[in-house]
Structures are given as C-alpha cells and as structure tokens.
Amino acid sequence: MNSKAIWLPAVLLLAAAALPAAAGSEPSGQERAEAAGQGLIGTPAPRMVLKTIDGQQIDLGSLYGRKAVYLKFWATWCVPCREQMPHFERTFESAGPDLAVIAINVGFNDTLADVQTYRTRLGIRMPIVIDDGQLAEAFHLRVTPQHVVIGRDGRIQYVGHLASDRLDAALVTARSVASTVPAAKDVSAADTHSYVVGDELPHMTVATLDGKQFQLHPAVAKQRTVLVFLSPWCESYLATSRPGLAADCRVVREKVDALAGNANARWLGIASGLWATSGELAAYRDEHRIKIGLTLDDSGNLFRRFRVMNVPTVVIADESGRIVQRLEPHGTDGASALATAVGGAATR
C-alpha cells in the first residue's frame, strides 16, 4: 500500500514507498481521509482561536462569512506532505483576499524546533500552527497530509489526502459560496479534562482487539495499571531516518513483552489511529507476538485525554488507579526505568 509510506520521514528515497503493507486490502490515504470526512461535509466548521509558531492568533470564527479557509494537516516526517508542499505554497501565494491558507502541523513526534528547521529549509511562508489535538479531533484527522476546505459560508466542503484536481476544484467552489454563516460550537472553549500524574484514571471501558473489555480504572485495588501508547508503524517505517525513535519503540515493545507476565501489573497497549486500522494493528500484534491486550484509539480520544504527542509513552497508575508516573522511554535507560516502575509494585 503505497500511501502508508507517508510515515517515512521526508529524507527517505521515494523508492521506500514500495514497502509492503500489513494487509493488502487496507484503504488508500484518499479513501481514509474521505471516510473520516463523511460526517463532516456540510456541517458548520468549529470556531477556534489558533496560535501560530510566531505567536500570532488566528480566529477561525472571524473568517467565516468573509473568506474560505484551507487547512492542511502535515508533519515534518511525511513524504507526501513534502511532495505536496510546492502545491500548498502556490495556493498560499495565489490565495488573494478571499482565501485563508493555514499549515497545521499535527504535533505528533514533532517538536517546535523540528517545525522551525523544516520551515527554514523549505522556505515555507504561510502561517504554521502546531496542533495540541483539538484540531485533529474537530476535523477527524486520520492521515497526513489531510486537506480540509471550509467554504465562505463556514461549512466544511472537502476532506481529502491528495493534492489533486478535486482539491483545486473544492478551493474554487469554497470561495464562491456565500450565505448566512451557521452557528458552530466554540471548540476552543470546551472543557475536556486531561489526565496527568496525580489524577485518577478515568472510569471508562475500552474494547481490545480480541473483543475483551478493559476497565482503565481498576475495579479492585490489586494491581498497577500500565498504559503503553504506541504506533504500529514506528519500528519499521522510521528505522532508516529516525533510527533512535524506531529503536525506542522496539526496546519498549520488547521490555513490555518481558514484563507482561508480572502479576503486579495489568497492561493495555493503546495504538494511535493515525494511519492505522484494526487490521494493521492485528498484523503488528501477530508479527511480534505481542502478549498484552491492544486497542485502537481511532478517534484519538485517549491520546488527547492523556496528552500523548509522542510514541512510545507509558502511563503508570498505582493499585488504587491514581497515576503515579509517566515515561517517554529512550534507549535501554528508558526500558530500565519502565522495569523499575512496574517491578516496584512487587514490594508494596
């Protein structure tokens, strides 16, 4: 599946796009984006106040009724994002007064320094916003790049993956639409609780790939709870250009596998829904013979609730369900810290 090559960093040769997919029938990038956007087309776009990496504010709600809006979700490690950047830049340069063009970095395994370096190297001039998860939730982010076009009437008109004639046509149509702007929820004002060290795990249940139910908050105070946030593409697709990150994902997987038999802890692997389906997650599980239960966070809700923007990330709660530690393991030291944190339950 060629579209999955977007998980490869931009410096890889395009020949890497021929890497085999986990399952031959998995949907293409365009199909994934369109499926994600099905429930959005024609609905009022959210009113949100964005902050660029230069400290400027962009009030989306104030643009509706005056301009069409083009949001492109992207990442510095995304090959098609870079391939499409000339098209994106041309659209920005020719936008005129009736189109706002905004680059939305997905904030996933990207730092501010990464984005600034990328901007300088490619000469990007349009406003850049690093998402904290709110935009991804509001616009059902599933792939990178993901294009979202909002008409002048404030309604979402197009969601896609390719820089194609369909995208160009949507940008033209979006500018011509002018009508009463519908009411929309002010997403930036939403009060969504996030869980940090010191908080109790939420009382919610998630379904694992094997059909079991996992209660995040333990029903009986006997074991620690270990949540391992991961992405099934990390080890393979980042192995060449981000070997350190790929190694971290591998080391954590191996350490989790070694510790999974520890009766002092219960485990759940939470996989990002970016470029991952249940079938692909199952293939990853089978390939590596992963013992712990896995769930696909296809909406990104759990990643947002626990403020996870990098993989691997491990969240550990004590026997009562209170979060006591958060690890973003690096190398063998990180694996040792994980073993210590989990093994510590044995002396309690």
What is the rounded CA–CA span in Å between residue 176 and residue 152? 7
Same domain? For 212 and 183 the reply is no
User: Helix, strand, or coil here: 136?
Assistant: helix
- Residue 237 binned pLDDT confidence (cut-offs 50, 70, 90): confident
Instruction: Give residue-wise pLDDT tens across range 33-52.
Output: 999 999 999 999 999 999 99
Once rounded to an integer, what is the mean pLDDT over residues 80-104? 96
Nearest to 193 by CA among 40, 290, 93, 305: 305
The reply to whether 37 and 153 lie within a common domain is: yes
pLDDT of residue 6: 37
User: What integer pLDDT is reported at residue 332 of this predicted model?
Assistant: 77
Instruction: For the beta carbon of residue 119, count every other beta carbon within 10 angstroms.
Output: 18
Q: Is residue 196 a part of any domain in this protein?
A: no
- 6 within domain boundaries: yes
Tally of domains within the chain: 2
82, 122 Cβ separation under 8 angstroms: yes
* 130 and 252 together in one domain: no
Q: What is the mean pLDDT of the chain?
A: 88
Query: 257 and 161 share a domain?
Result: no
245 and 176 within one domain: no
Asked if the structure places residue 79 within a domain, the reply is yes
Inside any domain, residue 16: yes
Residues 63 and 140 in one domain: yes
Q: State the residue range of the domain holding 287.
A: 205-347
The per-residue pLDDT for 23 is 43
pLDDT tens, position by position, 275-308: 999 999 999 999 999 999 999 999 899 999 999 9
Cβ-contact 145, 74 below 8 angstroms: yes
Res 10: pLDDT: 35
- Using the structure block, give the residue that is written with the tokens 């599933």: 142
User: In the numeric block, which tokens belong to residue 99?
Assistant: 């189109």
Helix (H) or strand (E) holding 49: strand 49-51
Q: Would 247 be classed as within a structural domain?
A: yes
What does each C-alpha distance from 84 to 110, 113, 185, 329 come to in angstroms? Answer: 19, 22, 31, 33
| pTM as predicted | 0.85
Cα–Cα nearest to 11, from 82, 66, 63, 69: 82
Q: What is the pLDDT at residue 183?
A: 63
In the predicted structure, residue 11 carries a pLDDT above the cut 60: no
CATH number at residue 261: 3.40.30.10
